[in-house]
Amino acid sequence: MLLTLIRRELLDNLMTFRFAAAVFIMLLLVVANTVVLLKDYERRLAAYNTALKTHQDKVQELKAYSGYELNIDRPPNPLSIFNAGLDKRLGNQVRVYHAFVPTLWDAKMHGSDNPFLNIFTSIDIIFIFEVILSLIALLFAYDALAGERERGTLRLVLAQSVRRGHILLAKYISAMLCLLVPLLLSLFLAMILLTNNHSVSLSPDDFLRIGGIVLTSLAYLSVFYFIGMLISEVSRRTSTALMLSMFIWGFLVLVYPNMILAVMSPSRPPRAQVDSAMKQMEQIWEEFDRERKGFLINDPVPGESIWFKIGAVGGSHEHLAKRASALDVHFRTGLNLEEINERSEPQVPHAQNYFRFLEPRVISTAEKTWLLREQGLKNIFVKPASIDRILLKFSPVGIYDSATQAWAGTDLHGIRDFFDAARQHRQRVIDYFYDTKVFGTRQWFAGDKQAVDWNALPQFSFKRSDIGINTERALPDVCLLLLINVILFTVIFLIFVKSEV
């Protein structure tokens, strides 16, 4: 019986104009935008490759170890075509050196594009799904019950020995099958475009991630179908149901996500908190500086200069850099000599002693401030952002968006993975420096005698988190969507069973 019902509903739905229109518009938008998005991805990839090459060449030019400062680059995520998330917006190159713990907030952008073009909003495939799938689902659902009731066919069907639950189930299954057609067809075309593009390389894991995205889309689609069904059940007349579902669609998709963040107070970091964290970090560095100066005064060379009376060509710097906007205080000091005068040779060991003393302290102080900074950044940037995200999740659109971001790896976690890798790389470089006892050597600050073999240093590599972690991050949101589905179905079922026909 259930099968008969499903078949009837399926035929009913497939032959309609709305089905044809839905398929057409989905294909049109998804294909057109995939082409545009692929082009954009290619551009970002090209910028990444150029940056990578420039930065590697720059390291090779360095003569002394102390100048080591590798700019590492974050490759664009190919799945950002599905959900761009934060992938395009957050910085994609960051400096790594021993005296500084890099974070997402220190990153810069590859500066090869026209930044003014960012005044145009950009869209991705998931955005199309968010808008169109929900609209189509509601348009399929609004007359599911109200229409049959008006025409009187519901009465006829129920006159047979059909369970009411079966009717609902049949309607649901057949509509979902129909809605799957535009979803899968458009995704299929997008995938063809994606796999035929030589600059996009998708790993097997990526296909699983896309599978996850499809599943989430299905759950999202079904939430909106249930919402439409509920409206259809409650409002009894098709015209009312249509009107109501369009208003609810407009509210959930268009109005709520934009309005709620404007209503809730803007998440500005509390001034006092920033100031106190900055002050604490400054104190730590000042203490370090006192220790440093103490060493310089007590050593055999008079004065506080870090040149130790070495006659040489080169440069030195020592300054405290402060940026309250990124909660960043760090001290930079260094000596970089290109040529040393023969006469000054006896002075060189003094400098060696100084750096042997100094650099381990720089590293430990940097790590001490990092503990403070990490906490501060979390309070000032991450917490308000996650509260905003939770507020957005009161609309299914927000849940869907954050779930697909998690699958694609373009959410905050995904981006921070890269910076975790950057920090790990820094740790490896420091370990290498300690192992080769490079701080006390002449090569640390002078590049005149022996060239540094930069290839011996650990190389940076970054791999996106594996599918298991993506699943772990996406699962709560997917479960939430499924839960909403179950609740809506139960409600509809209860109302439908009790209602008079």
Partner 1 sequence: MIWHITKREIYDNLNSLRFALTTVLLLALMVTNAVRHLREHPKQVQRYRDAVAESLNQLTTHAEESLYKLAQYGPGNFYKKPSPLHFCANGSEPILPDTIKVDDPIVFGTVGSSDSYEETVVLHGIWTLSYPDANLQNKDVGPDVSQVDWGFIIGYVLSLLALLFTFDALSGEREHGTLRLMLANSIPRHTVLIGKFLGALFSISIPFTLAVLVNLLLISTSSEVHLTTEAWGRLGIIFCLALLYTSLFLALGLLVSARVQRSAVSLMILLLTWVTFVAFMPSTLASIASSFSPAVSFDKYWKQRNPVQEDLWDKYGNRLWSEASDEETLRAKSGFYIDKVDNSERRSEARLRYRSSQVHRARAITSISPATLLQHLIEAFAGTGFERHLQFVENTQRYARQLREFVVDTDRGDPESLHIINVREGMSQKPISPAAVPKFEDTFDLSQDFNTRAMELLLLGLFVVVLLSGAYLAFVRVEV
Residue in 428, 435, 416 with CA at minimum distance from that of residue 460 = 428
CB of 108 to partner 1, least distance (A): 8
Does the protein bind partner 1 through residue 266 (CB under 8 A)? yes
CA 355 centroid distance within chain: 39
**Interaction residues for partner 1, span 387-406 (CB under 8 A):** 388-389, 392, 398, 401
* Among residues 56, 71, 240, 280, the one that binds partner 1 under rule CB under 8 A: 240
Provide the token pair at 144. 């599911």
Does the protein bind partner 1 through residue 153 (CB under 8 A)? no
* Among residues 4, 7, 11, 50, the one that binds partner 1 under rule CB under 8 A: 50
Count CB-CB contacts under 10 A for residue 468.
10
* Closest to partner 1 by CB, 287 or 339: 339
CB of 269 to partner 1, least distance (A): 11
* Among residues 1, 11, 385, 487, the one that binds partner 1 under rule CB under 8 A: 385
364 vs 355: CA distance, rounded Å: 14
- For 199-250, where are the alpha helices, taking DSSP H only? 204-235, 238-249
* Among residues 320, 382, 482, 501, the one that binds partner 1 under rule CB under 8 A: 382
DSSP 446: B
x/- string (CB under 8 A) for partner 1, residues 101-140?
---xx-xxx-xxxxxxxxxxxxx----x--xx--x---x-
Kindly state the helix (H) or strand (E) to which residue 15 belongs, with its residue range.
Answer: none
Does the protein bind partner 1 through residue 14 (CB under 8 A)? no
* Among residues 12, 27, 40, 181, the one that binds partner 1 under rule CB under 8 A: 40
Give me Rg for the CA atoms of the chain. Answer: 31
Instruction: Tell me if 334 sits within 8 A of 98, measured CB to CB.
Output: no
Instruction: Tell me if 147 sits within 8 A of 421, measured CB to CB.
Output: no
* Closest to partner 1 by CB, 138 or 438: 138
**Interaction residues for partner 1, span 304-363 (CB under 8 A):** 325-326
Provide the token pair at 89. 């917006």
* Closest to partner 1 by CB, 379 or 441: 379
353, amino acid identity: N
* Closest to partner 1 by CB, 245 or 352: 245
CB of 232 to partner 1, least distance (A): 12
Residue in 482, 462, 465, 484 with CA at minimum distance from that of residue 407 = 465
* Closest to partner 1 by CB, 25 or 62: 25
- Looking at 36-44, 72-80, 418-426, 433-441, which segment touches partner 1 (CB under 8 A)? 36-44
Name the pairing type of β-strands 312-323 and 70-73: unpaired
Burial of 55 (0-12, 13-18, 19+ CB in 10 A): middle
- Looking at 155-163, 186-194, 222-230, 251-259, which segment touches partner 1 (CB under 8 A)? 251-259
Does the protein bind partner 1 through residue 483 (CB under 8 A)? no
**Interaction residues for partner 1, span 168-227 (CB under 8 A):** none
- Looking at 64-72, 162-170, 376-384, 459-467, which segment touches partner 1 (CB under 8 A)? 376-384
Does the protein bind partner 1 through residue 408 (CB under 8 A)? no
257 vs 398: CA distance, rounded Å: 7
332 vs 317: CA distance, rounded Å: 7
